[in-house]
């Protein structure tokens, strides 16, 4: 007879979905087992959100140093040292991973290093380095994340073609880089490498890069892309990749029925990510998949098997770390008998290009498509004292209000620190705050947050630091 260990809650995958769920459930008194086959922190901490933003910070420091003279600081001989940039990036990820490991231990979570799958009798088999272990859990949360989606074209397996994980650990930077896919991941890498002086070409299948983003913002971003050594090619389908005799990659694509090609040292494949369900053997516990290829869940994050929940990228609903973490809280609450459900109306989203883009709620396109009458205010960063202090006057903030209900329904921020401004706007929208509520709020001076105050006032043509004609 096999030895079956008992646990209240088994969580498979220790990304921002799984580890947050484990800590939260343990704090609520559950006996939690967390199985991870590769690295605590998942894609987000080890090969996603954190390392990419650490690289972006390095590039920002590089550019600030080069433009030091604008602030009266004379700096000479500024160079970007890729090896040291990598060391700093690794320090950040190592320190965060160790922090999460300590938190899991302090909260009494049983962390098992191994790969989990569902055995045919419903127990969970963990293939660990020390041998197989079997678990029986009252509830299970699947949080196995996603993996790179691959194009089915000739040459995609060539060594010059890399994915978003491999590009993070390059030992040297290339002179030229072709990025297939102008989505969020593709564009963030385009700005990182373009600003380091790499000749970058982005090939996007759709008519615009970042297809879900406000067209006006994309048009503005495209201008800054050019200035950052990035050549964007849209409406183009990559057909094959070859490697020439000097080792360069030749990416062939079709644009408006014309065959073209681009030559570069490396190619980054960034055409999306698909749920990682690989070796779970979901058929053994009767779990349905949805049309989008992810695990099907209801708003409580429960799968078609009522004791099993699924959260994060493996559901393929919204591939964002903070959504995975929030879904974890919702799933654990429901396991504990506390009613909670996911709402996706006000999920903030940040794209760390230069300038940054941050959005929450409805975009102008959403409102136009739905035929909802709305008002929009638009306040330029150039009207804000802190933006000038930072020497970052580029960009704007747009706020949308539904005319009938007078409710604030969406916001888009394009500019420096958009990532911070969107938090305040998310709280406002998520709590149905009105322009009057924002008017009653005092925003510290001099800060970029004053842009929020003016954009709210501007909906009633009352902005103070910007003249918007009634
Ligand atoms: C380059 C890049 C940049 C990104 N930037 C951002 C960003 O700035 N902001 C943002 O919100 N999102 C960003 N994302 C997306 C974000 O990383 C994901 O949405 C997030 O990691 C999803 O969390 P998760 O817990 O669902 O899965 P993951 O973080 O992928 O974790 C899943 C874990 O499960 C483990 N696992 C899988 N199968 C098994 C198994 N059978 N047994 C045991 N363990 C298993 C995996 O090893 C992995 O560690 C980025 C992604 C990439 C690739």
HSE-CB at 7 with a 13 A cutoff on CA atoms is 29
Question: What distances in angstroms separate CA 186 from CA 147, 182, 274, 392, one per listed residue?
Answer: 15, 5, 16, 24
Tokens of 73: 């600081």
pLDDT at position 199? 98
pLDDT interval class at 120 (50, 70, 90): confident
Once rounded to an integer, what is the mean pLDDT over residues 453-470?
90
Once rounded to an integer, what is the mean pLDDT over residues 261-282?
96
Of 52, 146, 142, residue with least CA distance to 93? 52
Q: Answer whether 14 contacts ligand 1 (Cβ < 6 A).
A: yes
The per-residue pLDDT for range 186-222, each reduced to its tens digit, is 999 999 999 999 999 999 999 999 988 999 999 999 9
pLDDT at position 468? 76
Compute, in angstroms, the gap from residue 43 CA to the centroid of ligand 1.
Answer: 3
Q: Which of the 8 DSSP states describes residue 403?
A: T
Residue 119 burial class via C-beta count within 10 angstroms: exposed 0-12, middle 13-18, buried 19 and up: middle
Compute, in angstroms, the gap from residue 13 CA to the centroid of ligand 1.
Answer: 9
pLDDT interval class at 129 (50, 70, 90): confident
Angle, CA of 336, 339 and 342, to the nearest 5°:
110
Query: Helices then strands (H, E): number in the chain?
Result: 12, 21
Is 445 a catalytic site residue? yes
Helix, coil or strand: residue 344? coil
Mutate to test the pocket of ligand 1, among 21, 37, 44 (most ligand atoms within 8 A of CB): 44
pLDDT interval class at 467 (50, 70, 90): confident
Kind of pairing, strands 124-128 and 131-142?
A: antiparallel
367 torsion bin: left (phi>0), alpha (psi -120 to 50), beta (else): alpha
Q: Answer whether 17 contacts ligand 1 (Cβ < 6 A).
A: yes
Of 356, 352, 447, residue with least CA distance to 396? 356
Compute, in angstroms, the gap from residue 99 CA to the centroid of ligand 1.
Answer: 17
Tokens of 65: 């140093």
HSE-CB at 142 with a 13 A cutoff on CA atoms is 35
pTM metric for this prediction: 0.97
Which residue among the candidates 152, 322, 445, 461 is catalytic per the annotation? Answer: 445
Q: Answer whether 164 contacts ligand 1 (Cβ < 6 A).
A: yes
pLDDT at position 2? 73
The per-residue pLDDT for range 387-443, each reduced to its tens digit, is 999 999 999 999 999 999 999 999 999 999 999 999 999 999 999 999 999 999 999
Of 315, 433, 98, 33, residue with least CA distance to 326? 315
62, 11 contact by CB (below 8 A): no
Once rounded to an integer, what is the mean pLDDT over residues 101-115?
98
- Nearest alpha carbon, ligand 1 atom 20: 321
pLDDT at position 450? 98
Q: Answer whether 185 contacts ligand 1 (Cβ < 6 A).
A: yes
Tokens of 3: 């030895």
User: What proportion of the chain, given as a percentage, has pLDDT over 70?
Assistant: 100
Question: In sequence order, which residues have a C-beta less than 8 Å from that of residue 280 and are 6 or more positions away?
Answer: 12, 116, 117, 118, 142, 144
Beta bridge partners of 377: 399
The per-residue pLDDT for range 219-257, each reduced to its tens digit, is 999 999 999 999 999 999 999 999 999 999 999 999 999
- Quote the mean pLDDT of the chain: 96
CA end-to-end span of the chain: 80
- Nearest alpha carbon, ligand 1 atom 45: 13
Q: What are phi and psi of 402, to 5 degrees?
A: -75, 130
Q: Answer whether 399 contacts ligand 1 (Cβ < 6 A).
A: no
Tokens of 452: 């929020």
- Evaluate if residue 122 carries a pLDDT over 90: no
Beta bridge partners of 358: 350, 413
Tokens of 187: 């564009």
22 torsion bin: left (phi>0), alpha (psi -120 to 50), beta (else): alpha
**Farthest-apart Cα atoms in the chain, separation:** 80
206, 234 contact by CB (below 8 A): yes
Q: Answer whether 395 contacts ligand 1 (Cβ < 6 A).
A: no
Question: What distances in angstroms separate CA 21 from CA 130, 161, 178, 214, one per listed residue?
Answer: 26, 35, 38, 33
- Nearest alpha carbon, ligand 1 atom 37: 144
Neighbours of 445 (CB within 10 A): 10
- Evaluate if residue 470 carries a pLDDT over 70: no
Helices (H), 173-242: 184-195, 215-227
Beta bridge partners of 178: 201, 267
Helix, coil or strand: residue 358? strand
40, 104 contact by CB (below 8 A): yes
The per-residue pLDDT for range 302-320, each reduced to its tens digit, is 999 999 999 999 999 999 9
- Nearest alpha carbon, ligand 1 atom 48: 42
Helix, coil or strand: residue 210? coil
10, 137 contact by CB (below 8 A): yes
376, 364 contact by CB (below 8 A): yes
Tokens of 317: 């609903």
Q: How far apart are CA 181 and CA 206, in angstroms?
A: 9
- Evaluate if residue 1 carries a pLDDT over 70: no
The per-residue pLDDT for range 348-380, each reduced to its tens digit, is 999 999 999 999 999 999 999 999 999 999 999
Q: Answer whether 12 contacts ligand 1 (Cβ < 6 A).
A: yes
């Amino acid at each position: 007879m096999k030895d079956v260990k008992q646990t209240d809650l088994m969580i498979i995958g220790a990304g921002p979905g799984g580890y947050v769920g484990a800590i939260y459930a343990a704090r609520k008194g559950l006996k939690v087992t967390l199985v991870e086959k590769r690295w605590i922190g998942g894609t987000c901490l080890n090969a996603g959100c954190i390392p990419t933003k650490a690289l972006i910070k390095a590039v920002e420091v590089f550019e600030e140093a080069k433009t030091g003279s604008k602030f009266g600081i004379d700096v000479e001989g500024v160079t970007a040292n890729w090896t040291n940039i990598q060391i700093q990036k690794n320090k950040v990820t190592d320190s965060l991973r160790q922090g999460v490991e300590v938190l899991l231990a302090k909260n009494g979570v049983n962390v098992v290093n191994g790969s989990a799958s569902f055995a045919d009798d419903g127990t969970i088999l963990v293939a660990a380095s020390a041998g197989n272990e079997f678990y029986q859990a009252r509830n299970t949360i699947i949080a196995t994340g996603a993996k790179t989606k691959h194009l089915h074209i000739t040459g995609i397996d060539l060594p010059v073609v890399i994915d978003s994980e491999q590009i993070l650990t390059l030992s040297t930077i290339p002179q030229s880089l072709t990025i297939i896919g102008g989505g969020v991941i593709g564009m963030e890498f385009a700005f990182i490498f373009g600003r380091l002086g790499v000749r970058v070409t982005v090939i996007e299948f759709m008519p615009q890069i970042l297809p879900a983003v406000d067209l006006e913002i994309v048009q503005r971003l495209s201008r800054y892309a050019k200035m950052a050594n990035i050549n964007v090619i849209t409406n183009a389908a990559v057909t094959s990749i070859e490697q020439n005799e000097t080792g360069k990659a030749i990416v062939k694509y079709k644009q408006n029925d014309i065959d073209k090609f681009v030559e570069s040292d490396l190619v980054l494949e960034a055409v999306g990510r698909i749920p990682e369900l690989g070796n779970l053997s979901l058929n053994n516990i009767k779990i349905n998949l949805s049309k989008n290829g992810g695990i099907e869940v209801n708003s409580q994050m429960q799968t078609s098997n009522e004791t099993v929940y699924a959260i994060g990228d493996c559901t393929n609903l919204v591939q964002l770390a903070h959504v995975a973490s929030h879904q974890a809280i919702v799933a654990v609450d429901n396991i504990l008998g506390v009613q909670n459900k996911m709402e996706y109306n006000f999920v903030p989203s940040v794209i760390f290009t230069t300038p940054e883009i941050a959005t929450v709620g409805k975009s102008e396109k959403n409102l136009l498509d739905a035929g909802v009458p709305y008002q929009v205010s638009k306040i330029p960063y150039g009207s804000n004292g802190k933006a000038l202090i930072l020497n970052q006057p580029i960009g704007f903030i747009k706020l949308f209000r539904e005319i009938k209900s007078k409710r604030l329904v969406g916001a888009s921020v394009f500019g420096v620190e958009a990532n911070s401004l969107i938090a305040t706007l998310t709280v406002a929208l998520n709590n149905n705050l009105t322009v009057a509520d924002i008017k009653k709020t005092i925003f510290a001076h001099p800060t970029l947050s004053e842009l929020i105050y003016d954009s709210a006032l501007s909906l009633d043509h009352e902005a103070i630091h910007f003249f918007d004609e009634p």
